[in-house]
Amino acid sequence: MNIMNYTEKNIIKISETLIGKDYPCYVVGEIGINHNGDINIAKKLIDVAVTAGANAVKFQKRDLNSLYRLEVLENPNIESQGLEILLDVLKKVELSDSDYHEIIKYCNEKNITFLCTGWDTKSVDFLESINVPAYKIASADLTNFPLIDYIARTKKPILISTGMSTMEEIEKTVNFLKEKNIEFLLLHSNSTYPAPVDTLNLSLIHHLEQKFQLPVGYSGHEQGIIPSVTAAILGAVLIERHITLDKTMEGIDQSSSLEPLEFSQLIKFIREAENSLGKPIKKMTRGEILQKEVLGKSLVSRCNIEKGEIFSENNLEVRGPAKGLSPQFFYKIQGKKSNRSIKKGSYLQSDDL
């Protein structure tokens, strides 16, 4: 199928899985840097995602020499204290290329899709060499047209987060990507870690979908799972959440991540929510039909009614169960003649009119 045939239908395809309104919500366990540079922790987090029933896990790949000037890497406090802390963490947690080869193999064995954020062109080149099926672009790079263009040239699907961005910036990037003839979706996000619940603005999910005619997902950084389940109910076609073995572990993303039980509950509740939505068709279930037979009401003759007698409030009443004509006809049949003699306490039928 032509790439744009998917995009025009608000669908993207990652590996063999279609993502869109008419498909189950695609759930990504964001491992990110929560592995702390330890491949064994990375594998345990993959196991967490598999056990929970996630569709994919996602990592982050950086080449710090490509992202920062040498003088900043050597002396980051010349820029800001926050950058000094961040770079110190990132230097410690970057996995090696051989680690990623092993991780890809492990994901294949576990039948879960490997995704990754490529923060720079060198990292994208490496991810291409291991055939990543789709790319995530972080909120921080929503305005980074050179990187976006470089990734778009791979013709792989793109997931792009919209945190720390204005609507004008989002619109410019959407228009830029639409010119590239690739599949992509937007991820509504609040880039605060952790994000206060009252700042999540989940109603924007539907707005983004309508405004740009694109599939929209949600990348959550809040604590807890209720907002992410709510996002799925509101129409997010993809939910991404950071996962951790333990929130008390060392790391800048651990506290806003979900532990194994929470992540399993998140996916369980999303699936239950999907099942509960159903279709916009009102149809009684078998259980409701049985209940209606017991609890419903019918029109009943209040007294003996002779053939040809006029129906009125004086000879009609409403009683249970639902074995005869619906009480909705109570006023409609008044003034009409009975077709037969009806004994007191009989359930009226349609052929009595």
Q: What is the pLDDT of residue 226?
A: 97
Given a cut of 70, whether residue 141 has pLDDT beyond it is: yes
The verdict on 251 and 301 lying in the same domain is no
Residue 1 lies in a domain: no
Same domain flag for 199 and 331: no
3-state secondary structure at position 146: helix
Report the C-alpha gap between 342 and 284 in whole angstroms: 31
d(CA 211, CA 13): 21
C-alpha pair distances (Å), 104 with each of 73, 118, 258, 259, 280? 29, 15, 23, 22, 41
Query: How many angstroms separate the CA atoms of 127 and 133, rounded?
Result: 9
The whole-angstrom separation of Cα 218 and Cα 159 is 10
How, if at all, do strands 17-20 and 11-14 pair?
A: antiparallel
Residue entry with tokens 């199928």: 1
CA 162 from centre of chain: 15
Residue 86, pLDDT score: 76
Structural domain harbouring 248: 12-277
CA-to-CA distance for 106 and 112, rounded, in angstroms?
9
End-of-domain residue from the set 242, 277, 312: 277
The answer as to whether 191 is a domain residue is yes
β-pairing, 56-61 vs 113-118, is parallel
Is residue 309 domain-shared with residue 270, that is, in the same domain?
A: no
pLDDT exceeds cutoff 90 at 266: yes
Among 50, 58, 41, 43, CA closest to 117: 58
Give domain status of residue 268, yes or no.
yes
Do residues 121 and 66 lie in contact, with contact meaning Cβ atoms separated by under 8 Å?
A: yes
pLDDT digits (tens, 9 = 90+) for 34-74: 998 899 999 999 999 999 999 999 999 988 766 666 666 66
Residue 263 contacts residue 29 (beta carbons within 8 Å): yes
Which pLDDT band holds residue 77 (cuts at 50, 70, 90)?
A: low
In a domain, 248, yes or no: yes
Question: Is the peptide bond prior to 24 cis by the omega test (within 30 degrees of 0)?
Answer: no
pLDDT exceeds 70 at position 80: no
- Domain limit, last residue, from 277, 300, 318: 277
Residue matched to tokens 């707005």: 207
Q: Tell me the C-alpha distance between 341 and 339, whole Å.
A: 7
In a domain, 249, yes or no: yes
| Same-domain pairing of 92 and 211 | yes
Instruction: Among 277, 303, 330, give the residue marking a domain's end.
Output: 277
Instruction: Average the pLDDT over 160-188 and give the result.
Output: 97
Mean pLDDT of the chain: 91
Structural domains in the chain (count): 2
Same domain, 273 and 290: no
Residues 302 and 330 in one domain: yes
309 and 269, same structural domain?
A: no
Q: Are 55 and 83 within one domain? A: yes
**pLDDT at 4 (0 to 100):** 47
- Residue 311 forms part of a structural domain: yes
Give the CATH number, domain containing residue 330: 3.90.1210.10
Query: For the chain, what percent of residues have pLDDT higher than 70?
Result: 91
